[in-house]
Structure 1
Amino acid sequence: MKLLACPKCHQQLHLENKTLKCENNHCYDISKRGYINLLLNPDKATNNPGDSKESLVARKAYLNKGYYDPILNQVITCIDEFKHQDDLSILDLGCGEGYYTQGLKKHFENSDVYGLDISKIAIDMATRYRKDVTWLVGNSKNIPILDHSLDFICALFTVVNQDELKRALKEDGYIVHVTANNQHLIEIKELIYDEIKVKSDKYIRLDFNQVKSYDFKEKVHISNREDALNLLMMTPHYYHIKKEKRGVLDTLQGLDITIDIKVTVYALS
């Protein structure tokens, strides 16, 4: 919590009782669930931005079965490789309901771990994992963290703002960026799309120094219908199913799916 900055004036926030205040007397209460809402009205397009509750519930149920542990383990391995010390400051940007964040805290117990998402529903769910993570409602375009204070920023399947990453990272800090390759969840795409479009990833590459970049691919077996439905419902693909393809949901059983991701570690210089 010591690295928090006021989203209005960007001055350091200090804890007074259960309220965070900056030197300009901007105040933010800590919720009963333990998270801090640092999302300003100008930083949100709707009253309830972010993923739907339906999607978040499905995501939590699916991830808690361990199917995506290989992705979490890749991020942990990258941090272990490039860390300068054991007591780190780590931000999980766009953390959703907090699965990866709590996994980071479990591994890096001596570190200050922050989880930020624009969805208040997601962060409220995340608080149920652990109380020793600083859970924040906020916008990645206005990260409520002090300048040049983070050792690592993790961005898994989420939109980032490069200027904010540069501002919040230490000069010797790193970004661990996880993005989907074209074969990621190809089995789901084949079920619901008539034609699968191959997209270039050049627009999601970041303009920083790449110190490591590699593809990771692995098959995962989903053993039952409930988990398969949760996987589908936690992805944008669920909301793109055409009416004539809805019957797929009735016949969906367990299946093998492909994890196909690119892991890139960036440094500022």
Structure 2
Amino acid sequence: MLICPICQSALTAHENSLRCIYQHSFDRARQGYINLLPVQHKNSRAPGDNPAMVQARRNFLSGGHYAPLAERFAALMQEHQPQKWLDIGCGEGYYTAHIAEALPDSQGYALDISREAVKQACKRNAQTTWLVASMARLPLASNSCQAIASIFSPLDWQEAHRVLVPGGALLRMGPCSDHLQELREQLYDEVRSYDDSKHLQLLPEGMQHTHSETLRFSLTLNDAQARSDLLAMTPHGWRANAERREAVIGQTLTTTVAIRYDWIEKTEI
């Protein structure tokens, strides 16, 4: 299932590490994850979310504010009953853990380019195989997964197509154009609209869109720490000016949560 990120040959277990036939070796960290991101594939010293962003996301999600999103995503995955699945861009593992709980008899793999995020994710579910790896170079064999989860995460469509079995599917979760609308109105003079279906124009040959649905609800955050965490875990935490961020943190916030789910199936090898 797992392949070497350097030479793409199969990885096999050797005590507390994985090794390929060319003796490229990758140790399992004490937290439980495996680092399959060679230094030559990094675009910075510590790519991905930093510890502060990871902790903010963990705090906010553990508070249950986005629980309906995770529960619906896990239910959609459960409908397809994949035996092997991959969560691309798993972050600190909140959504991954929901998927794993919904699919207790499956084998789940989850990866993120941020080592700090994966360290935290290991605490969420012991049965999942946690990896530090690049989404542009998935360390999984071709035609090895029945399902891929992509949650608020960029992805490489060609790589997704490669690792899915024919008939397998990618479930994508992303924001609708009115997601966090009221929050954005407080932060910016101009709130720009965007096309929340434009990702469907990027589908490669051999993948087709089969299902869409949306989930909307009103979220009220009475706690200042929750409002601070929400800002810190989104681009708004550094895009908006400090004065407006402090104003949001200082008073109760009610905003729209609007999420789109898309099933995209692989139709051919």
Q: TM-score range by the shorter chain?
A: over 0.9
Contact 2:186 2:248 (C-alpha < 8 Å) held by counterparts: no
Partner-residue secondary structure (3-state), 1:131:
coil
In the alignment, residue 56 of structure 1 is paired with which amino acid? V
Provide TM-score, normalisation by structure 2. Answer: 0.93
Partner-residue secondary structure (3-state), 2:209:
strand
Q: Gaps (5+ residues) in structure 1?
A: none
Partner-residue secondary structure (3-state), 2:179:
coil
- Counterpart-to-counterpart distance in 2, 1:37 and 1:91: 16
- Counterpart-to-counterpart distance in 2, 1:210 and 1:220: 30
Contact 2:224 2:249 (C-alpha < 8 Å) held by counterparts: no
Structure 2 equivalent of residue 8 of structure 1:
6
Partner-residue secondary structure (3-state), 1:113:
strand
Partner-residue secondary structure (3-state), 1:229:
helix
* CA apart distance, 1:116: 0.3
- Counterpart-to-counterpart distance in 2, 1:159 and 1:24: 31
Structure 1 equivalent of residue 191 of structure 2:
196
Structure 2 equivalent of residue 129 of structure 1:
124
- Counterpart-to-counterpart distance in 2, 1:107 and 1:136: 20
Instruction: Output aligned runs, 1:92-171, within 5 Å.
Output: 92-171=87-166
* CA apart distance, 1:133: 1.1
2:264 is aligned with 1:266:
yes
* CA apart distance, 1:241: 1.5
Structure 2 equivalent of residue 239 of structure 1:
238
Structure 2 equivalent of residue 38 of structure 1:
36
Report the CA distance shift for 1:244/1:228 in structure 2 as closer, same or farther (over 3 A): closer
Partner-residue secondary structure (3-state), 2:58:
helix
In the alignment, residue 231 of structure 1 is paired with which amino acid? L
Q: Percent identity?
A: 29
Contact 1:229 1:252 (C-alpha < 8 Å) held by counterparts: no
Q: Gaps (5+ residues) in structure 2?
A: none
- Counterpart-to-counterpart distance in 2, 1:256 and 1:204: 28
In the alignment, residue 94 of structure 1 is paired with which amino acid? G
* CA apart distance, 1:203: 3.8
Listed one character per residue, the Cα deviations across residues 168-225 of structure 1 (whole Å, up to 9, x for unaligned) are 1111211001111111111221121111011123542241211111222112232311
Which of structure 1's runs of 4+ aligned residues deviate more than 6 A?
none
In the alignment, residue 39 of structure 1 is paired with which amino acid? L
Report the CA distance shift for 1:247/1:222 in structure 2 as closer, same or farther (over 3 A): closer
2:173 is aligned with 1:178:
yes
- Counterpart-to-counterpart distance in 2, 1:131 and 1:89: 16
Provide TM-score, normalisation by structure 1. Answer: 0.93
